[in-house]
């Protein structure tokens, strides 16, 4: 009887694997949500926007400029 895998053991293993997968996925997604915020000062934001623009990622650069403008960080830039 040792070494035999029963149906109940397979189901328990699948449940544990599924639960672990859901837990890890939720932790990753929770980390992604908090990283969507642009942090830093005006110079870092402008540097990022210019880098994105130079790489041809105009839409991403526009998003950075928009966020900087919404925070009134583009005054005098």
Q: Give 23-34 pLDDT, tens digit per residue.
A: 777 777 766 555
* Range(s) of the domain holding residue 31: 1-37
Domain count along the chain? 2
Question: Same structural domain for residues 46 and 71?
Answer: yes
C-alpha triplet 64, 62, 44: angle, nearest 5°:
30
pTM given for the model: 0.48
Same domain assignment for residues 32 and 54: no
Q: pLDDT averaged over the chain?
A: 79
Question: Which pLDDT does position 11 carry in this prediction?
Answer: 78
Same domain, 23 and 55: no
């Amino acid at each position: 009887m040792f070494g035999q895998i029963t149906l109940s053991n397979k189901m328990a293993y699948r449940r544990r694997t599924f639960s672990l997968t859901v837990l890890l996925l939720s932790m990753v997604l929770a980390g992604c949500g908090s990283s969507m915020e642009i942090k830093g000062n005006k110079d870092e934001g402008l540097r990022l926007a210019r880098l994105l623009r130079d790489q041809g990622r105009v839409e991403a650069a526009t998003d950075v400029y928009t966020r900087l403008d919404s925070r009134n960080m583009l005054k005098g830039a």
